């Protein structure tokens, strides 16, 4: 049996689509008079082992001696050196062929091919880690510039022009009020009840507790918030 394996992540560029990968594999098969019997498609990280992927695990259970797996490129099969080396050794032992169409008629399961692919896999993993590090550096730089990077916006902040995080005056007044009430010795339930009367919205003690702890972790002097908070009279 000849199995075609294609993989992409949710963030993959258009030229890594399943159709593009299948086109490359079919082109290889046409040149070498082969035909794919069954396709397996995974949407996941290339850092996962084949057996950790939904379709990859299914493919692994079907493989028998003499079978062939064809991928369009090495990084479509794996971006993990550890995963590739282990699979190559396993396939060589079981008599299974692993071929990458963009590298020509070089089989990863023979002696020369296994060494060749080990070198390529090391380079592929290095590239993946290097890219991840660059992305983290870029995100840290944007974070220090106060840029919104996606996800839930921190309470007390809002998204302004050019994706810049700015202070939400409304939420900041509410946050200062929470800290002021806590500094005066009010329980979380008392703070909750007061907030609901003041804002007309439903509040939860657990959320209020998280806000207070967040401010404490950021070394903010809660007592100083009493002076900066809006002077609102406690009502019964």
- CA 117/CA 161 separation, integer angstroms: 48
d(C-alpha 91, C-alpha 85), whole Å:
10
Share of the chain above pLDDT 90, in %: 33
User: Three-state DSSP class for 61?
Assistant: helix
DSSP, collapsed to helix, strand or coil, labels residue 70 as strand
Ranges 80-84, 168-172, 226-230, most confident: 168-172
Return all residues near 236 (Cβ < 8 A) that are at least 6 apart: none
Q: Cα separation of 45 and 78, whole Å? A: 9
Q: Which residue has the higher pLDDT, 144 or 76?
A: 76
Average pLDDT of the chain, as a whole number: 79
User: For residue range 82-111, what is the model confidence (pLDDT) as tens digits?
Assistant: 777 788 878 888 889 888 888 776 665 566
Helix (H, G, I), strand (E, B) or coil at 32: coil
Structure tokens at 23: 């086109």
**What contacts 63, CB < 8 A, 6 or more positions away?**
3, 69, 91, 94, 96
DSSP, res 216: H
pLDDT at 231 over 60: no
Higher pLDDT residue, 150 or 39?
A: 39
pLDDT tens digits, 13-23:
655 589 999 99
Q: How far apart are CA 230 and CA 226, in angstroms?
A: 8
d(CA 77, CA 71): 6
Q: What is the pLDDT of residues 185-215, one digit of tens each?
A: 899 999 999 999 988 999 999 999 988 888 8
Give which of 200, 207, 197, 91 is closest to 100, Cα–Cα.
91
Name which of 86, 73, 38 is nearest 58 in CA terms: 38
Tokens of 152: 């839930």
Distance CA 67, CA 95 (A): 8
């Amino acid at each position: 049996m000849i199995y075609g394996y294609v993989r992409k992540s949710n963030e993959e560029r258009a030229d890594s689509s399943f159709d593009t990968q299948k086109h490359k594999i079919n082109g290889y098969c046409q040149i070498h008079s082969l035909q794919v019997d069954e396709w397996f498609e995974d949407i996941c990280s290339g850092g996962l082992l084949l057996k950790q992927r939904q379709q990859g695990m299914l493919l692994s259970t079907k493989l028998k001696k003499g079978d062939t797996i064809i991928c369009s490129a090495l990084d479509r099969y794996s971006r993990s050196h550890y995963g590739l080396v282990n699979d190559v050794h396993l396939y060589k032992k079981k008599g299974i062929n692993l071929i990458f169409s963009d590298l020509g008629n070089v089989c990863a399961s023979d002696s020369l091919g296994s060494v060749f692919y080990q070198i390529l896999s090391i380079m592929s993993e290095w590239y993946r880690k290097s890219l991840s590090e660059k992305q983290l550096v870029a995100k840290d730089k944007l974070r220090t510039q106060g840029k919104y990077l996606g996800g839930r916006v921190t309470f007390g902040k809002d998204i302004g022009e050019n994706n810049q995080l700015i202070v939400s005056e409304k939420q900041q007044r509410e946050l200062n009020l929470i800290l002021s009430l806590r500094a005066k010795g009010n329980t979380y339930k008392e703070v909750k009840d007061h907030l609901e009367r003041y804002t007309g919205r439903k509040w939860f003690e657990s959320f209020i507790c998280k806000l207070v702890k967040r401010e404490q972790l950021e070394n903010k002097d809660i007592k100083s918030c009493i002076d900066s908070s809006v002077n609102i009279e406690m009502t019964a």
